[in-house]
């Protein structure tokens, strides 16, 4: 499927509507600039705003101290907060390692590490985890410097977030004191109160140095959380898990349940919907790394085979798993796969019972030239998943300069790629881009944010939207559109935010989604304010159609939208009631023929005498209309009264009653 441009670029929109108020929408090809401030912006994280847009947070070196900034982008791509974002937390200390989650009320909860001091002789920075809630308008709701989740002198880092189900968050972090590395958690209420004491609760008391880099957390659906981490307490890293209930008590074995029999790392998890979780990880029990998955129930009991299920039987190296829930305890797992000489992206779906549902070796998400990297994925809300990644396939000079583009793909629940093979291009601007992250737009599509190097001198933050059909969205005057079969016609309707009086519409129809599309001559378009509709009666019953509507101004033309499929039912021979009825002086009669045949359409008075023959001869399959002007065959006005219109078509006959009122 080719990317659909919903409306004009900003340059064209400015030219076309120069005398009109500014257009608020802002999506443009290759993405919009979320932040282009002086200094380095990097490592964006993103969460849905619940209204078709997203809130993006990033690490920002605009001033002397590095801070976390955030920006909300509306569904049409318009920045809703201050230019280049708003600061999160008070200035004065550097801030790193940002994380974000939606708060369920149009805002977000953001966690980060405040750097208290740096010591070159120490393995760790001295950092403190803080959180802040910011509302839909960009206003901080908690203390200006954020809320510290722990007041001890230990070094806290790598915060992770999960919703608590009551408008607050559960924060998990790595806690280092001396040579002891632990996992801690804290619950923060919607008003910023600490619910698990001033220092949080211990999830794992000693995981071994370097063993908790990849800890992750998800909600248990009961105001608690399930946490997984790499744990090197026995000298070899393995995956452990723990559930913390709403009051902060550990529910499973002290210091967690071991899920893997051999060396393993990089666990990711999603809730299973009934108090447990589905967990994927990178496993080293074979000669090379493989991806395994396990479901653990609300009581901490593994639901699938001991040691987990291998998601892919290919002999290749498989790394960096990602996972998305598909509901009812199932999941889709994605990973990087060295099946050839370069890295590709693959995925597999696991059923609630632990069965591998797609090809035993997984299905390719992208196997384009070059190594695809930094893949992230989310559920599409319909049993499938949406993926975004960095991709070098468009680089004309592989070594100098380096060019990395951003691509995306949607895979449905059966393993079928729904967008073009190897993904849709979201950004192909010059130079490189890194660290893509994505959030659902709530309508089966996504908003993707990334770190962008097109400015050369420093990195900026950019974002782009992609809809459910795989269409990248650019600046639009289109508010909404629809297309549906309406009895005797197909109605295509749309609404614009503004329009020039000289603008015209081109409506085209095709029998396939990819075309070809044929322009409808003299389309029947009506207007009410900025709402428009087009009625198409020249269709074949039982066929399915796609429509394109374009905007024309002089020699310029730009596509507004392309509809989804509009199916028309197979129809019998039909003589529709005339309209208007009663009438004066004329009325319109519509006929539908299911096949080519000889027809006779005539008007008779109440005594059965022929008044006028409206049509006689062979007619093609389809709908056609004729107007009776209320006159007889001698062209004299017929008198007021009841008349009958009779259709004879082959061996069939139909009759309707009409009333002429003079």
User: 2-46 pLDDT, tens per residue?
Assistant: 333 333 332 323 223 222 233 334 688 889 999 999 889 999 999
Under the banding of pLDDT at 50, 70 and 90, the label for residue 63 is low
**Residue 491: HSE in the Cβ half-sphere, 13 Å Cα cutoff:** 11
CB 492 within 8 A of CB 533: yes
CB 70 within 8 A of CB 81: yes
What is the reported pLDDT for 488?
81
Q: Specify the DSSP element, H or E, that contains 391.
A: strand 385-391
pTM of whole model > 0.75? no
What is the reported pLDDT for 7?
32
What is the reported pLDDT for 100?
98
Higher pLDDT, 274 or 622: 274
**What is the share, in percent, of the chain residues with pLDDT greater than 90?**
69
Residue 17 structure tokens: 């509507």
| Average pLDDT of the residues of the chain | 89
431: left (phi over 0), alpha (psi -120 to 50) or beta: left
What is the reported pLDDT for 15?
28
**Is residue 500 predicted with pLDDT exceeding 70?**
no
- Secondary structure of 600-660 in HEC code, one letter for each residue: EEEEEECCCCEEEEEEEEEECCEEEEEEECCECCCCCECCCEEEEEEEEECCEEEEEEEEE
**Is residue 139 predicted with pLDDT exceeding 90?**
yes
Under the banding of pLDDT at 50, 70 and 90, the label for residue 120 is very low
Under the banding of pLDDT at 50, 70 and 90, the label for residue 396 is low
Sketch out the chain's domains with CATH numbers: 478-567 (2.60.40.10), 574-660 (2.60.40.1930)
Under the banding of pLDDT at 50, 70 and 90, the label for residue 124 is low
What is the reported pLDDT for 644?
97
What is the reported pLDDT for 474?
54
For the segment 238-264, the average pLDDT, to the nearest whole number, is 96
Higher pLDDT, 504 or 278: 278
Could you read off the pLDDT of 507-532 as tens digits, one per residue? 999 999 888 999 999 899 999 988 99
For the segment 275-300, the average pLDDT, to the nearest whole number, is 96
Higher pLDDT, 122 or 307: 307
For the segment 109-113, the average pLDDT, to the nearest whole number, is 96
What is the reported pLDDT for 119?
55
Higher pLDDT, 384 or 430: 384
**Range with lowest mean pLDDT among 11-20, 110-119, 240-249:** 11-20
Under the banding of pLDDT at 50, 70 and 90, the label for residue 606 is very high
Residue 460 structure tokens: 């900026």
What is the reported pLDDT for 147?
96
Could you read off the pLDDT of 196-237 as tens digits, one per residue? 999 999 999 987 665 566 899 999 999 999 999 998 888 889
What is the reported pLDDT for 487?
81
CB 233 within 8 A of CB 211: yes
**Range with lowest mean pLDDT among 270-279, 474-483, 592-601:** 474-483
Give the CA distances from residue 106 to residues 137, 138, 281, 445, in Å, rounded to whole numbers and listed in that order: 9, 10, 32, 18
């Amino acid at each position: 499927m080719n990317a659909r441009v919903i409306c004009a670029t900003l340059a064209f929109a400015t030219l076309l509507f120069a005398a009109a108020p500014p257009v608020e929408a802002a999506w443009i090809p290759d993405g919009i600039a979320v932040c282009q401030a002086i200094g380095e912006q990097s490592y964006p994280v993103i969460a849905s705003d619940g209204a078709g847009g997203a809130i993006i947070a990033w690490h920002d070196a605009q001033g002397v101290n590095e801070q976390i900034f955030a920006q909300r982008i509306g569904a049409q791509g318009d920045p809703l907060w201050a230019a280049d974002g708003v600061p999160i937390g008070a200035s004065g200390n550097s801030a790193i390692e940002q994380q974000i989650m939606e708060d369920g009320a149009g805002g977000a909860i953001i966690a980060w590490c405040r750097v208290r001091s740096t010591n070159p002789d120490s393995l760790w920075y001295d950092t403190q985890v803080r959180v802040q809630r910011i509302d839909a308008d960009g206003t901080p709701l908690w203390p200006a410097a954020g809320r510290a989740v722990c007041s001890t002198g230990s070094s806290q880092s790598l915060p992770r977030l999960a919703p608590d189900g009551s408008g607050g968050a559960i924060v998990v972090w790595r806690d280092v004191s001396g040579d002891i590395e632990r996992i801690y958690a804290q619950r923060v209420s919607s008003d910023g109160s600490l619910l698990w004491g001033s220092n949080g609760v211990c999830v794992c008391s000693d995981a071994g140095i370097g063993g908790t880099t990849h800890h992750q957390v998800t909600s248990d659906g009961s105001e608690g959380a399930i946490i997984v981490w790499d744990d090197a307490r026995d000298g070899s890293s393995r995956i452990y898990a723990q559930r913390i209930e709403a009051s902060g008590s550990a529910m499973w074995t002290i210091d967690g349940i071991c899920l893997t029999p051999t060396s393993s790392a990089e666990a990711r998890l999603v809730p299973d919907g009934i108090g447990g979780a589905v967990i994927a990880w990178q496993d080293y029990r074979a000669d090379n790394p493989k991806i395994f998955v396990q479901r653990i129930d609300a009581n901490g009991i593994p639901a699938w085979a001991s040691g987990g299920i291998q998601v892919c039987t290919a002999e290749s190296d498989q790394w960096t798993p990602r996972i998305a829930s598909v509901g009812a305890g199932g999941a889709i797992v994605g990973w990087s796969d060295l099946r050839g000489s370069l890295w590709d992206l693959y995925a597999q779906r696991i059923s609630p019972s632990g069965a591998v549902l797609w090809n035993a070796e997984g299905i390719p998400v992208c196997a384009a030239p070059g190594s695809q990297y930094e893949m992230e994925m989310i559920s599409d809300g319909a049993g499938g998943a949406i993926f975004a990644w960095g991709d070098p396939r468009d680089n004309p000079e592989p070594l100098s300069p380096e060019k990395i583009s951003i691509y995306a793909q949607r895979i449905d629940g059966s393993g079928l790629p729904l967008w073009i093979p190897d993904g849709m291009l979201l950004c192909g601007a010059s130079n490189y881009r890194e660290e893509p992250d994505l959030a659902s737009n709530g309508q089966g599509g996504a908003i993707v944010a990334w770190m962008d190097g097109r400015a050369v001198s420093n990195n900026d933050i950019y974002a782009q939207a992609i809809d459910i059909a795989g269409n990248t969205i650019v600046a639009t005057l289109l508010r909404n559109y629809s297309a549906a079969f309406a009895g005797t016609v197909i109605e295509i309707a749309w609404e614009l935010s503004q329009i020039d009086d000289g603008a015209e519409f081109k409506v085209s129809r095709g029998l396939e989604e990819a075309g070809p599309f044929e322009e409808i001559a003299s389309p029947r378009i009506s207007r009410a304010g900025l709402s428009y509709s087009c009625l198409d009666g020249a269709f074949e019953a039982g066929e399915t159609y796609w429509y394109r509507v374009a905007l024309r101004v002089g020699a310029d033309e730009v596509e507004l939208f392309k509809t989804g499929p509009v199916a028309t039912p197979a129809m019998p021979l039909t003589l529709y009631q005339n309209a208007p009825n009663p009438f004066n002086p004329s009325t319109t009669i519509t006929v539908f023929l299911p096949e080519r045949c000889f027809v006779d359409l005539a008007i008779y008075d109440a005594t059965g005498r022929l008044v006028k023959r409206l049509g006689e001869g062979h007619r093609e399959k389809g709908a056609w209309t004729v107007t009776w002007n209320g006159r007889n065959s001698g062209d004299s006005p017929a008198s007021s009264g009841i008349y009958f219109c009779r259709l004879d078509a082959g061996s069939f006959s139909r009759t309707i009653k009409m009333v002429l009122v003079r």
